């Protein structure tokens, strides 16, 4: 009745339906690997048969040693040695094969889910901390992959093991089989108790792991700021608080498991002692011999273990469904829409350049808090357009809209080709932009590696030319290995100005028709800054260049200046631009 009540409750609160949906999604991956699942199943069944044969052979040898049976000594000895040698080589070979299959499958599933995550709408994905996403990607995917491929073989093999062992015991003594089966209700009782609370505990532990990873990721990526503000003690204390919460969650679950296992183990011991006593009694009365008694005791433990494994699939599956729902929450977010035909066509005509038109755009990240209201602007090939305004007023929002990471909630944001055809800014137009964001965006590796990220087949000459346009080759050529010099993560080993120039060179190498510079020249001196912008326009006359800045050296080179302030985007007059440059 209690079990029926629990099922009714789960149906009412929807958790049974949720688990079924998670289960179906997880095992949709298993359908792709039917051959591997069959291979694992056959391998497990074969191993079970080998173990049973070995047990019977062991019984026969004991009978031989005790003098009960002597005519098959050589046969049993050869069988035991052969089985041992075969098991030795078979297990090693299979471990190698199964590892290869497991790695391949996990990599393929991980790559598939990675592609789905990376295509999620930026607004939706940005609500998750990068550390949380990383934890789901690294930990939860492994759990899902193992369950998707291993669940069916484990269930079949363990059921076969249980039934085959039960049949072997039944063959020699039906009473022994009945005593062995007493373990089944114990294991069912155990699964019933654990099932009701395991889902909650698993979710708490996984969420705590995500919080920990988010904290660690954020800490180590901002280590310079932490040290410079002398916040080492503060962050150490934060870590200890996270650890304390983690300890509480795990110790609570551990205490619950200990209490449950203690009671179940005591009951199990009573059953095992009863089984052992019956075997001794049967031996004493002469109903069985020493070999058969040993066989019974072995198979009793084997039967209990097999049944435990069958029942244990339930909590492990629950744990996997928790991982599944954490991944599903991300990959089922709205995906960006890409039109391949549009992408290919725009690529064909990209040498003619493109214009950007923003018309009466409204946008807000959260309801009732507008960032942009009725804002308009335009940028054309061969122009440098500036976006200025106080921090936090919407300049970065405009950059995101250009890149199609966000879409206007009202109005239009379009790309216009040389024939006047318009295309909504989004994932299908993003490849036409080269973007240099604020801050240091250099990756570990060589300078050439960093530039070839945007053009894999770029020659050394093309890389050098891009570096020259960005006024970066003057210092790169003096490094020990030139463009093949190694640099650390976030440009370690370079100054901020040098890192910026390499980032600009990377954007130039991409040779996209539209260049976005988000405070990308802030670490350069005025003369270098002007030369960089002059080189871009001189060498790429059809390029549309948009910069976010308020430095007078840049404003004086711009065809138009737009100010983002108080939720509005307005074009400044020449007098207003000149005054802003003077006031700076």
Nearest alpha-carbon partner for 120 in 338, 288, 292, 280: 338
Chain centre distance of CA 246: 21
Are 3 and 192 a contacting pair, CB within 8 Å?
Answer: yes
Quote the CA–CA distance of 570 and 584 in Å, as a whole number: 19
Are 232 and 180 a contacting pair, CB within 8 Å?
Answer: no
- Which whole-number Å values give the CA distances from 523 to 219, 491, 509, in the listed order? 25, 14, 21
- pLDDT score for 46: 83
Q: Which residues of the chain have pLDDT under 50?
A: 1-8, 10-11
Half-sphere exposure of 350 (CA within 13 A, CB side): 20
Quote the CA–CA distance of 391 and 371 in Å, as a whole number: 12
- pLDDT score for 425: 92
- pLDDT score for 60: 76
- pLDDT score for 555: 79
Helix (H) or strand (E) holding 568: strand 568-571
Quote the CA–CA distance of 494 and 524 in Å, as a whole number: 13
- pLDDT score for 415: 93
Q: What domains, with CATH codes, occur in the chain?
A: 17-331 (1.20.1560.10), 340-583 (3.40.50.300)
Work out the angle between the directed axes of helices 141-172 and 290-331 (0-180°, nearest 10): 160
- pLDDT score for 4: 41
């Amino acid at each position: 009745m209690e079990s029926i009540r629990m099922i009714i409750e789960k149906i009412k609160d929807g958790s049974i339906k949720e688990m079924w949906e998670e289960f179906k999604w997880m095992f949709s991956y298993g359908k792709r690997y039917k051959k591997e699942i069959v291979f694992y199943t056959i391998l497990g069944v074969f191993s079970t048969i080998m173990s049973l044969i070995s047990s019977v052979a062991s019984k026969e040898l004991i009978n031989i040693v005790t003098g009960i049976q002597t005519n098959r000594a050589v046969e049993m000895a050869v069988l035991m040695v052969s089985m041992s040698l075969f098991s030795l080589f078979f297990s090693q070979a299979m471990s190698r094969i199964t590892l290869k299959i497991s790695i391949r499958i996990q990599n393929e599933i991980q790559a598939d889910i990675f592609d789905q995550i990376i295509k999620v709408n930026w607004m939706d994905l940005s609500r998750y901390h990068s550390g949380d996403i990383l934890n789901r990607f690294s930990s939860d995917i492994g759990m899902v992959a193992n369950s998707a491929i291993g669940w069916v073989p484990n269930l079949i093999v363990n059921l076969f093991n249980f039934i085959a062992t039960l049949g072997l015991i039944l063959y020699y003594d039906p009473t022994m089989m009945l005593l062995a089966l007493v373990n089944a209700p114990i294991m069912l009782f155990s699964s019933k108790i654990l099932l009701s609370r395991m889902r909650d505990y698993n979710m708490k532990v996984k969420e705590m792991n995500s919080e920990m990873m988010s904290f660690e990721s954020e800490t180590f990526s901002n280590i310079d700021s932490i040290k410079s503000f002398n916040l080492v003690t503060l962050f150490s204390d934060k870590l200890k608080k996270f650890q304390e919460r983690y300890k509480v969650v795990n110790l609570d679950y551990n205490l619950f498991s200990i209490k449950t296992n203690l009671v179940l183990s005591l009951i199990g011991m009573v059953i095992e002692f009863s089984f052992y006593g019956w075997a001794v009694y049967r031996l004493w009365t002469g109903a069985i011999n020493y070999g058969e008694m040993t066989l019974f005791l072995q198979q009793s433990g084997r039967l209990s273990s097999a049944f435990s494994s069958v029942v244990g699939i339930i909590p492990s599956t629950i744990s996997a469904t928790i991982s599944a729902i954490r991944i599903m929450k991300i990959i089922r977010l709205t995906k960006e829409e890409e039109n391949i035909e549009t992408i290919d066509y725009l690529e064909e005509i990209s040498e003619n350049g493109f214009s950007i038109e923003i018309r009466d755009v409204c946008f807000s990240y959260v309801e009732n808090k507008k960032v942009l209201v009725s804002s308009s602007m335009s940028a054309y090939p061969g122009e440098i357009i500036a976006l200025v305004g106080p921090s936090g007023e919407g300049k970065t929002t405009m950059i995101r809209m250009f890149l199609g990471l966000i879409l206007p909630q009202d109005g239009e944001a379009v790309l216009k080709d040389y024939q006047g055809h318009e295309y909504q800014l989004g994932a299908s137009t993003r490849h036409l932009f080269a973007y240099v964001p604020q801050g240091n965006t250099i990756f570990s590796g060589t300078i050439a590696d960093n530039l070839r990220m945007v053009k894999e087949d770029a020659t050394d000459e093309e890389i050098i030319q891009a570096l020259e346009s960005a006024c970066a080759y003057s210092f790169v050529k003096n490094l020990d290995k030139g463009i093949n010099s190694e640099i650390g993560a976030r440009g370690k080993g370079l100054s901020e100005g040098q890192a910026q120039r390499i980032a600009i060179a990377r954007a130039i190498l991409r040779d996209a028709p539209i260049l976005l510079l988000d405070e990308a020249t802030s670490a350069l001196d005025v003369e270098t800054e002007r030369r960089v912008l002059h080189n871009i326009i001189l060498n790429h006359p059809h390029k549309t260049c948009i910069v976010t800045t308020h430095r007078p050296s840049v404003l004086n080179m711009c065809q138009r200046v737009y100010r983002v302030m108080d939720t509005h985007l307005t074009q400044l007059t020449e007098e207003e631009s000149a005054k802003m440059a003077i006031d700076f």
